[in-house]
Structure 1
Amino acid sequence: MKLENNQDNLDQIATLIEYAFLKNKDLEHDVNFMSRYDHSTSYGYFDKKKLTSYIMVNQFKSEVFGHHLPMAGIGYVASYPEYRGQGHISKLMKEILQDLHEQNIPLANLAPFSEGFYRQYGFSNSIYQKEYTFSGNALRNFKLPRNGHVIRGDWNDLNVQNGVIQLYERQLHTDDERNTMVRDAWWWNRLDTYYPNRHIAVYFDGDGRPMSYLIYRLMEQRFIADELYSITPQGLLSMLGFMNSHAGSVKEFCMILPEKSLLAELFSEQRQLKVRVRPFMMSRIIDFKQIVECTKPIQNETFNLEVNSDDQCPWNIGVWQINSQNGQVTCSRKEDELVDFSGSITAWTQVLLGRLTMSEAVKLGLITDYQIKKLDFKKGDVSFYDYF
């Protein structure tokens, strides 16, 4: 059931989360938890007035190919151990998806503790990260910029803050983002408190324009770059040069970048890099029609797409005719039409919001190709990462 925002419920929510997530502090006095709680809707299951299971839902916006779509961020999924396996979370998740549908929120994202657990609710892996690990020797050819300058500071430095936000917002207006969160002011501020002791470096060109930024931490002789973004090659090289200036005091560098990152091509000795791709977030299409109309099919044609299974959101099941003409996509439900492509909602999530192309999904057997038609969608990218 949806919970009222009152002190008794908050007391029980905090106690459950502290136990389930091994928190050794009072969450009601934790600014990070409370900032998220204050912007959330709570769902809980009670047994004799005791809260036994809980899910937090935050409403954000996600950039999907030029569309700012409402997006639900699901987190703090918890049950006391003695109540697990009794279907309480399943009941809450079904209620949440129904409510989100009624609120016209077409997708949800979450960070899974178990991918298999969330697949039963229609979630699929959709956002991946590429991690680079290397020693300072790998950076020896990168230098600080001769033109322009780098400003180093923290989030309270308005020059740094404005440079970061300008660059972040710029990328969101390229129409290339596939499922990237639009960060509101409260979330930016929460990121600063959630990750304490983070530093920020911004490179400004000779005309004083921000070209790149780097958000990083220094932890036990490790340089951890949580976010790197640049709009020019010089900006990227400048940030690598800035990292190199730390090589004398840092034993290991770790960079978290978008899956499509080609950063390794700039290094003269790629063998010095350890590179791995790892799953990060899962997504769930709640409204198939609305998501499809935000995508960018490569072909200008009419196609009939079938969602053949969706246990939690049955309104998605059926045949949907999409018409793509000059970048505009319309979608409507059809009856008695020949199906071109068919798949489950999880498979369509992997194609529409994930990294799979249509041809890859067909080869893997996730999507069935019934007609001799070629269909693919612009894949876009996820340039920034948010955990909730």
Structure 2
Amino acid sequence: MMTAIQRLTEKDFPEIFALSQFAFQYELSAEERQKKIEETKHHKIWGWMEQGTLAGKLHLHSLSCYLNGKEFAMGGIGNVATWPEYRRQGIVKHLLHHALLDMKENGQTLSFLHPFSFPFYRKYGWELAFTNKHYSLPINQLKKDWNGSGYVRRVQKDIGLLHSLYSSFAKNYNGMLVRDERWWEQRVLTGNEQIAVTYNEQDEAEGYLIYYVKNDILTVEEFVYLSLNGWGLLMQFIANHDSMVEKVEMEMPENDLLPLKMDEPRFPQEIKPYFMARIVDVPAFLKAYPFRSKNVSLPVHLHVEDDFLPDNAGSYRIEGGQVVRIEDEILEENAIFCTIQQLTVMLLGAKRPSELYAAGMFSGSPKEVELLDEMLPVRQTYLTDFF
């Protein structure tokens, strides 16, 4: 069956766009279509062909993300779609498997995607790893002194400045994309947004806001700061829109502490599951992973199950930051037994091993779990991009 999968090219764009517009229920204007063509040229698109006709497809983005400040190559999956007459025939399953093998071959040890259904992608090894906090703030509750010292300037599109601030901020979280100029042009700065940059009293840029105002609502698309002072200046700037907006909508990291800094913390706050992640190549990922194990003298033994990519399944010993694959026969009986989904969540930092263990999501001895907890960096997952 795999011979039905082909890599699609520009000559297939009419079929590709037709399927996307049908599946995701939108229409491209002539101008939007031209932009979409330029953007899609950079996708690797795998299609399932039935008698020369496109039945289903997925787009693969070659990206990188930060993990404990280190860059990891990542395959981003998007635009997964099938025509109705070809659904429930395993086409997407085969496309996903093909894409994962392609990622592995190209050194992309991680994969992210935005699911139409969490249960569907869980079957193939992805798991919820990014959960954002959504605020719906009445702007009159922002009237206070936010202790920012300096000033704010609205600016035109200055990718160099924004990229410098974004990159410093992004390294504080696990999963944030490593952006290039094209990504900024095609994915972040689409032309309808306002951009404001904060400066301290030494005229040094400390943060920025990408936002737009419509129907009495200020919607924050990106809130980036390098210092508490920069954060305060951005909050004050948002509050200064009180004469023209009634409400502020913003997405923040799951561990954001804004409610503790508000005089009145009772306002709508919603935890929203966002993106899923998956380790593509367990041995390669573990080898590159930034364990903080210098103070951990004992090894951790780990057995991983991966039904969709059986090459990942097996037993590993982690000791002194080094990872060795071992035979299952010599695995300690106290070892941690987990699935690829649980391993992904733990190593990305979405949940600690002790949290998952307490919830009964994997087995092992409490001591091994404690050791693994000590080995893993503590860093919040966060993702502001979409694909």
TM-score by length of 2: 0.91
1:224 aligns with 2:219: yes
1:303 aligns with 2:300: yes
| Residue 297 to residue 362, structure 1, CA distance change in 2 (3 Å) | farther
Post-superposition CA distance 1:259-314 (Å, at most 9, x none): 1111122211112x21111111000111122333414346513111110x212211
1:268 aligns with 2:263: yes
Task: State how far apart, in whole Å, the 1-side matches of 2:319 and 2:258 are.
Answer: 37
Alignment-derived partner of residue 164 in structure 1 = 162
| Residue 205 to residue 28, structure 1, CA distance change in 2 (3 Å) | closer
Alignment-derived partner of residue 369 in structure 1 = 364
Q: Which deviates more, 200-209 or 20-29?
A: 20-29
How far residue 12 of structure 1 moved from its aligned partner, in angstroms, is 1.3
Q: Which deviates more, 131-140 or 294-303?
A: 294-303
Alignment-derived partner of residue 184 in structure 2 = 188
Structure 2, unpaired ranges of 5+? none
Give the letter aligned to residue 326 of structure 2.
Answer: K
Give the letter aligned to residue 387 of structure 1.
Answer: F
1:315 aligns with 2:324: no
| Residue 56 to residue 80, structure 1, CA distance change in 2 (3 Å) | same
How far residue 113 of structure 1 moved from its aligned partner, in angstroms, is 1.0
What percent of counterpart residues are identical?
26
1:215 aligns with 2:213: no
Task: State how far apart, in whole Å, the 1-side matches of 2:309 and 2:43 are.
Answer: 22
1:150 aligns with 2:155: no
Give the letter aligned to residue 118 of structure 2.
Answer: E
Pick from 276, 281, 286: which aligns with 1:287?
281
Do 1:358 and 1:367's aligned partners in 2 also have CA atoms closer than 8 Å?
A: no
How far residue 90 of structure 1 moved from its aligned partner, in angstroms, is 0.8
| Residue 154 to residue 129, structure 1, CA distance change in 2 (3 Å) | farther
Taking only aligned residues, the RMSD between alpha carbons, in angstroms, comes to 2.0
Task: State how far apart, in whole Å, the 1-side matches of 2:45 and 2:29 are.
Answer: 18
Task: State how far apart, in whole Å, the 2-side matches of 1:216 and 1:380 are.
Answer: 26
How far residue 172 of structure 1 moved from its aligned partner, in angstroms, is 4.3
How far residue 372 of structure 1 moved from its aligned partner, in angstroms, is 3.0
Task: Number of aligned residue pairs: give it.
Answer: 373
Alignment-derived partner of residue 379 in structure 1 = 378
Do 2:129 and 2:381's aligned partners in 1 also have CA atoms closer than 8 Å?
A: no
Q: Which deviates more, 285-294 or 339-348?
A: 285-294
| Residue 4 to residue 226, structure 1, CA distance change in 2 (3 Å) | closer
How far residue 22 of structure 1 moved from its aligned partner, in angstroms, is 1.4
Post-superposition CA distance 1:56-85 (Å, at most 9, x none): 001001111232111011000001111110
Task: State how far apart, in whole Å, the 1-side matches of 2:147 and 2:351 are.
Answer: 38
| Residue 345 to residue 188, structure 1, CA distance change in 2 (3 Å) | same
1:84 aligns with 2:95: no
Do 1:27 and 1:34's aligned partners in 2 also have CA atoms closer than 8 Å?
A: no
How far residue 97 of structure 1 moved from its aligned partner, in angstroms, is 0.9
Do 1:2 and 1:41's aligned partners in 2 also have CA atoms closer than 8 Å?
A: no
Q: Which deviates more, 83-92 or 134-143?
A: 134-143
How far residue 383 of structure 1 moved from its aligned partner, in angstroms, is 4.7
Secondary structure, counterpart of 2:104 in structure 1 = helix
Pick from 126, 131, 151: which aligns with 2:129?
126
Task: State how far apart, in whole Å, the 1-side matches of 2:62 and 2:326 are.
Answer: 31
Task: State how far apart, in whole Å, the 2-side matches of 1:16 and 1:48 are.
Answer: 17
How far residue 354 of structure 1 moved from its aligned partner, in angstroms, is 4.4
| Residue 139 to residue 295, structure 1, CA distance change in 2 (3 Å) | same
TM-score by length of 1: 0.91
Post-superposition CA distance 1:225-264 (Å, at most 9, x none): 1211222222111111111110111011111111111112
1:178 aligns with 2:182: no
Secondary structure, counterpart of 2:367 in structure 1 = coil
Alignment-derived partner of residue 277 in structure 1 = 271
Alignment-derived partner of residue 98 in structure 2 = 95
1:334 aligns with 2:331: no
